[in-house]
Amino acid sequence: MATTDTFTQTLTAKQPRLLSAFEHIIAQNHLAHAYLFAGMDGAGQPELAYWIAQRLFCLNVSEGQPDGTCEECVRIANGSHPDIVTVAPTGQSIHVDQVRYLKSEFSKSAVEGNRKLFIISDAEKMTASAANSLLKFIEEPSGNVTALLLTTNKQLMLPTIISRTQVIEFPPLNAQALQRTFEEAGIPPNQAQLLRGLTNSLTQAQALLADDWLPQTVTALWRWFDQVVKGDPRSFVAVQVTLVGLAKDASQQLVIMDLIAALFQDLLQLHFQIDATELTFGQYEKELGTLTAGLNEQQLVQATELALTSKRQLASNISFQNVLEGLTLTLWPIFKNA
């Protein structure tokens, strides 16, 4: 766990507006009982959660900032404060025993003071029953309790949870600065430009490049995308023959859906002549320009909406292959007369 100085420094660099907003919220004693912090991996959700914890419990707050050195701050940084309850997935999900633990802690009073704080990491990995079990607390909080749910995939959260929390969107980091960070870590420029549209985390970016997975996936996706936009029936075959085999787990499936959405968003950006340096697939700028020249605004908007909808379908337990095959079939009529 990081120190307070690191939390503050990281948030000042990543999310200064959110840091300032929560400084004001806490100073005015207007902290809500449940928040959903949503954004890319690396956008600052955990740092803000632990900054809030230290701000609430610090013994020596100065100018709105916790000091980072008092006993309370140190215990929070070490993960040993009894009134800060943290839960994170073990494996692929947050399990039923963890939910039972949460529910039992919700019903208990604070150990040392009059406040408790819950931090639930990767909240999208709660099962439906686990998420529903939190609804009673969220709807009827008891005592001086706040829950912070952190997610990198808001689309996977139950609508009932989203509607009953205050959703705080963490905007992506500055694209050019993020690309420089990736390049300074040894990532080639084309791949850095691609990765900045997928994650704000250098660790995750490097993981996506492991075993040459991302370059292989991008090449296969581009072939499929080019065929789809041209109405080529081979794009349907490519789903089963190539794309499904590249998505070995749920996280890779989500990355592929993000990449598909980014491809259509790049077409839209070029159509409206937005700065090409903002493209995710900058390596295909020339080809994208050729494709968008033959398409109209309605086709591009409709295709982009379908791509975004498909990611939500994947979150509804429709198989990855079925989602991609369905997307391919619905895209063909849009482009057949292009």
Instruction: Using CA atoms of 75, 81, 84, 89 in order, give the dihedral in degrees to the nearest 10.
Output: 80
At 96-141, the pLDDT tens digits run 788 788 878 877 888 887 899 999 999 998 877 778 778 877 877 7
Strands, E assignment, 138-220: 145-151, 166-170
**pLDDT > 80? residue 162:** yes
CATH of domain 4-170: 3.40.50.300
- C-alpha 16/C-alpha 11 separation (Å) is 6
261 sits in which H/E element:
helix 250-271
At 272-311, the pLDDT tens digits run 877 777 789 989 999 999 988 888 888 999 999 999 888 8
Per-residue pLDDT, 337: 58
Per-residue pLDDT, 117: 94
At 214-231, the pLDDT tens digits run 999 999 999 999 999 888
Question: Distance between alpha carbon 211 and the CA centroid of its chain, in Å?
Answer: 23
pLDDT higher at 142 or 59: 59
What is the residue-wise DSSP string for 262-280? HHHHHHHHHHTT--GGG-S
Question: Does the global pTM surpass 0.85?
Answer: no
Q: What is the mean pLDDT of the chain?
A: 88
Per-residue pLDDT, 167: 96
What are the residue boundaries of the structural domains of the chain, listed by start?
4-170, 175-335
